[in-house]
Structure 1
């Protein structure tokens, strides 16, 4: 009896990286290796989907078992990521056909794409076109986004660790400002990521466990910014607590949809490029109330902070990578792996799935009942949702006082196609 041919797998990382995206990569590669009788090699795209288009593939079989395991506690994208959005099939069918050509040349039948909403859309289109081209690809989307805005999944791997970092940071900064408020800074503004969804900003609210704790004000993209109401709240906090600590989402906007920090340009995905909203808000306070201020932008620090990652987040990131391979082996296609919260008194979760045609290009905003009536803080319902996601510590190994992370060899696979493709 002839042995069934083993096909290879392709894995790529997309968009902004996280503290735990490599844990998902670890889950994919280790699980595929455990099923070496069914899956050949796992190739990774150098710089995400661009690596597939340009046939710049990385042979992960050249990496040691120890180094692959070390991905679980290494931040960023081990194989390189990118902000490259494929156009629609109607606009640029050639890009998708190129992907199929590369996959065919390298005997790839499994496509694992690790990213947010745009990568879910790409995953779906690859699956659809591969059928039309008579070279079926099983495309499984692995969720990843610090913004926590993918639908169907209870939460997104990468978010829990950012949430933990923001909660810790605003708490520590709050203590700092409080200690100097008598003679120095009265207002501290911390800017966090979140273009349309305020999940990360909401996480800062976890630090406020008691009356007067920082942050005193949270500015969400979901709540239209009202300058007069905001300044009154700031002034009230300074008079009552001696200082005011603010967490503001980069996507904070006015009622007409204009961002407080619209830089007037767009990024590679066509999204509005946002400037720093923290200095805008801080200067507003200075001009109108005269208070001395300081501001900070968490920026890359929040998504790279593996040293203070949530253990829950690490476990879930690995689990979705593992499940993607298991789903592919079961014959599933065009689905996103999800994290489903169990309806139990104590927090529990399990792995599920959602059809990509319902996931692609859909954003999950914060529900209104997660934000207080005045629009400046989180409710107990929101706290109950967020707390389990930041629980547990999963420290990387340390040496000489610094975390030890892995850098892979990332050896290239020989190209097989004569035709070159530029992006």
Structure 2
């Protein structure tokens, strides 16, 4: 096997189990006597030559990553443009890789990260530099193409379903003299996977959530009011789950936060729950409460899905195996082989089939009336939230999460001016 160093980096929004993937990557590489560097704050760390030496971490700390949320090495929302548009940054990246004898690059992220890994592989080939690039899947939105599901989603889905069920019990207890409508905002810009996961909280039309608003369906305010009113009159209260990315019939986001766009070109969203709550109160006169879980959805490691944890570690181990075997420009993806009993395996998929392809909810997963999930959706979603994998707790009653030393290796190049 060729000598060299493996570089691992995290990208985009983190998840409850992305560090479990990192743990698996480092442990698998150590077993093969391959040194692992981690880029501080994702691709920015690579460009700045801020590289963490994971050999300075104890095996106990690396193992503890598996039950620690967040991004242990830091992440960032930075997307490199085309090889021509961002030529200087790509060549700087290659310069850093050469300086530290990096022969394997693992980029742990979503659609845009898969695209970056693919571009880096093409650049290395252009300069005849021996580099194997592997994308590693991660996203709570579950919108990566090819893979059956995405590590990070199962735990966020479990948090969503549990939170909605618990909140619904609270609303039911108070509905006679207080809150009649409760609105829960779920992440999901263009794909309603997390909103759909809330549907696991109940069964039947009288169990919460009573109405789910998907970004795949245009939002009709008048029809929404009619259904909220009918639910309150029938059940006594109404629990609504709304994806942050719902749009009107003209394709305008209901909750455009007005914060412009990030480096990925995404419109900043936020506030759909508060918006809907205000509109319901004004139109129907009900007392309304709402919640915006936001980061809680992706950081709740204490409520992680065991299946999700196992898959997050499996893709990390497979990524190292693929890289060391020279399988360039691929991503380890999850393949479902059976619903009942639930079975899955890991296979390699070309990055070209993953990069910048967005997987939305299938039409057959959304109820005909557009406000709930179907049995097909339930069969797909339910296995992904199974099992518990709680972190160890300390005597202070809090989870015993780990903080790494994150010691950098010495720089070998001049500071980056980009």
**TM-score of the pair, normalised by structure 1:** 0.97
Partner SS state of residue 299, structure 1: coil
Equivalent-residue separation in structure 2 for 1:240 and 1:25 (angstroms): 49
Partner SS state of residue 245, structure 2: coil
Residue of structure 1 aligned with 2:42, choices 48, 71, 75: 48
Equivalent-residue separation in structure 2 for 1:230 and 1:5 (angstroms): 61
For these two proteins, the number of residue pairs brought into alignment is 416
Equivalent-residue separation in structure 1 for 2:58 and 2:340 (angstroms): 41
Moved more, 201-210 or 46-55: 201-210
* 1:336, distance to aligned residue in structure 2 (A): 1.0
Partner SS state of residue 189, structure 1: strand
Equivalent-residue separation in structure 2 for 1:389 and 1:259 (angstroms): 29
- The answer as to whether partners of 1:311 and 1:391 remain within 8 angstroms in 2 is yes
Matched with 1:337 is 332
1:75 aligns with 2:64: no
Partner SS state of residue 398, structure 1: coil
Matched with 2:99 is 105
1:410 aligns with 2:406: yes
* 1:422, distance to aligned residue in structure 2 (A): 3.9
Gaps of 5+ in 2: none
C-alpha distance after superposition, 1:125-147 (max 9, x if no partner): 00000011121210000000000
Residue of structure 2 aligned with 1:387, choices 382, 390, 407: 382
* 1:76, distance to aligned residue in structure 2 (A): 0.5
* 1:186, distance to aligned residue in structure 2 (A): 0.4
Residue of structure 1 aligned with 2:265, choices 247, 251, 270: 270
Matched with 2:83 is 89
* 1:151, distance to aligned residue in structure 2 (A): 0.4
- The answer as to whether partners of 2:153 and 2:308 remain within 8 angstroms in 1 is yes
Residue of structure 1 aligned with 2:318, choices 293, 303, 323: 323
**TM-score of the pair, normalised by structure 2:** 0.98
Equivalent-residue separation in structure 2 for 1:352 and 1:68 (angstroms): 25
1:31 aligns with 2:28: yes
Matched with 2:344 is 349
Structure 2 counterparts to residues 15-414 of structure 1, below 5 A? 15-36=12-33, 39=34, 41-264=35-258, 265-343=260-338, 345-399=340-394, 400-414=396-410
Partner SS state of residue 114, structure 1: strand
* 1:208, distance to aligned residue in structure 2 (A): 1.1
* 1:268, distance to aligned residue in structure 2 (A): 2.2
Equivalent-residue separation in structure 1 for 2:208 and 2:417 (angstroms): 49
* 1:210, distance to aligned residue in structure 2 (A): 4.2
Matched with 1:14 is 11
Partner SS state of residue 274, structure 2: helix
Equivalent-residue separation in structure 1 for 2:353 and 2:249 (angstroms): 29
Moved over 6 A (4+): none
* 1:275, distance to aligned residue in structure 2 (A): 2.8
- The answer as to whether partners of 1:146 and 1:303 remain within 8 angstroms in 2 is yes
Gaps of 5+ in 1: none
